[in-house]
Chain A
Amino acid sequence: MSTLATDNDILNEAERWKKAGKGVAIATVVETWGSAPRPVGSHLVIDEDGNFLGSVSGGCVESAVVTEALDVIENGKPRLLEFGVADEAAWKVGLSCGGRISVYVQMIEAAPTTAHK
């Protein structure tokens, strides 16, 4: 029987993908306004082939996040995406629940980065 991916599965899978030599990005819900389908801290992980695990919304914006993540994997620069009713025209996707969410997409790097204070 297949089960839904838990947070543990999602982050472990990201680690496995990266250690297998794939380009990997991690998308995280960093802010929500109004009624949002997934809480702050929810993750979606994406590999360079567009495979993904987890969710940042009820399925409304995942495909847009995956597309952005593939760009992030390619150029390494993190980006902050906003989705919601107000941004519908810009993103062509919206949250049916009427809320807004902010999703941060960053690449998993191979080598340690400099820690900030």
Chain B
Amino acid sequence: MDVQLLAGLNAARAARQPCVVVTELADGSSRLVQPDELAKAPLAGTALSEAIGEGLRSGRSAMVEIDGKQLFLAVQVPPVKLVVIGAVHISQALAPMAAQVGFEMIVVDPRTAFASPERFPDVRVLAEWPDIALPTLGIDAYTAFIVLTHDPKIDDPGISHALERNCFYIGALGSSRTHKKRAERMRAAGYTEEQIGRIHAPIGLNIGAISPAEIAVSILSQIIATLRAERVAAKAAKAAA
């Protein structure tokens, strides 16, 4: 691997583009492969193209042997982005925890008294309405999206955007009763049960959390559990076999 390839890899990660570094173990030579190269010459139709495609689908790095060569496919999927609607107390507790687990956190709240840099020293804060702020954030399937304001005017447009962008996790703060009302509003707006069912509400794992920091732990745990669900299922299946 050379420094140009490393720089390209870091640029792809910064731009949230999935890619794969293919390294031949015998001599250490590497190349960076972007998803759009798989269907083009010289890769199209090769066993390598197939293996890289599988890596991108599963998000898993792996060793493969192709044409007698041992290759390591280092699959790079974008790091998790955590978009939080609501610059509230729970969000403040969540900020350092999200940084620790490597999530890039962004807070959106139109209420300027809440969305101040003083309250969120190390986090990107946008004091804008969701419909203005969200389209600029590149929200994607590698994004976890949570709404914490309790105010439908602010939360609901956020949830709509998260569903549209296929976020891997969507969570909404509020009691079961609050969520029931939310589900009713969404049904009236034409959302399907499947879409409404994608929302984790009440938000977070049930650990009996009370304080804002404890609630932040329960939310973060549920996001990680969702992110790693496949891994958990594979382990459970292995244990049952």
Residues on A lying within 8 angstroms of B by beta carbon are: 1, 3-4, 6-8, 11-12, 14-15, 18-19, 26, 28, 30-31, 39-41, 77-78, 80, 104, 106-117
- Are B63 and A18 in touch, CB under 8 angstroms? no
Within 8 A of A (CB), among B30-59: 30-31, 42, 48
Residues on B with C-beta less than 8 A from A26 are: 1, 6
- Are A106 and B102 in touch, CB under 8 angstroms? no
Known contacts A12-B10, A113-B29, A106 near B3 by CB under 8 Å:
no
- Are A40 and B2 in touch, CB under 8 angstroms? no
Partner pick for B74 among A28, A31, A116, CB 8 A cutoff: A28
B110 within 8 A of A: no
Residues on A with C-beta less than 8 A from B7 are: 15
Least CB distance from B12 to A in Å reads 10
- Are B23 and A4 in touch, CB under 8 angstroms? no
- Are A30 and B72 in touch, CB under 8 angstroms? yes
Measured in the bound complex, the distance between the Cα atoms of B129 and A45 in whole Å is 42
Known contacts A109-B2, A110-B3, A114-B29, A40 near B10 by CB under 8 Å:
no
CB closest chain-B residue, reference A19: B3
| Interface of B: prevailing SS | mixed
- Are B25 and A78 in touch, CB under 8 angstroms? yes
Residues on B with C-beta less than 8 A from A78 are: 25, 27-28
From B1, B31, B75, B102, residue with most partner A Cβ within 10 Å: B1
B119 within 8 A of A: no
- Are B2 and A15 in touch, CB under 8 angstroms? no
Beyond A28-B74, A107-B1, A115-B29: 5 further Cβ-contacts under 8 Å? A11-B10, A77-B28, A78-B25, A107-B28, A108-B6
- Are B1 and A109 in touch, CB under 8 angstroms? yes
A-B contact pairs, 26 of them (CB 8 A): A1-B96, A3-B99, A4-B100, A15-B6, A15-B10, A18-B3, A19-B3, A26-B1, A30-B61, A40-B60, A40-B61, A40-B62, A40-B63, A41-B60, A41-B74, A78-B27, A80-B25, A108-B2, A108-B3, A109-B3, A110-B2, A110-B3, A111-B2, A114-B29, A115-B29, A116-B31
- Are A41 and B27 in touch, CB under 8 angstroms? no
CB closest chain-A residue, reference B80: A6
Within 8 A of A (CB), among B206-241: none
- Are A112 and B4 in touch, CB under 8 angstroms? yes
Known contacts A15-B6, A18-B6, A116 near B1 by CB under 8 Å:
no
CB closest chain-A residue, reference B69: A116
- Are B13 and A8 in touch, CB under 8 angstroms? yes
Partner pick for A104 among B25, B79, B102, CB 8 A cutoff: B25
Within 8 A of A (CB), among B52-98: 60-63, 69, 72, 74-75, 79, 96
Measured in the bound complex, the distance between the Cα atoms of B136 and A7 in whole Å is 25
- Are B10 and A115 in touch, CB under 8 angstroms? no
From B6, B7, B13, B22, residue with most partner A Cβ within 10 Å: B6
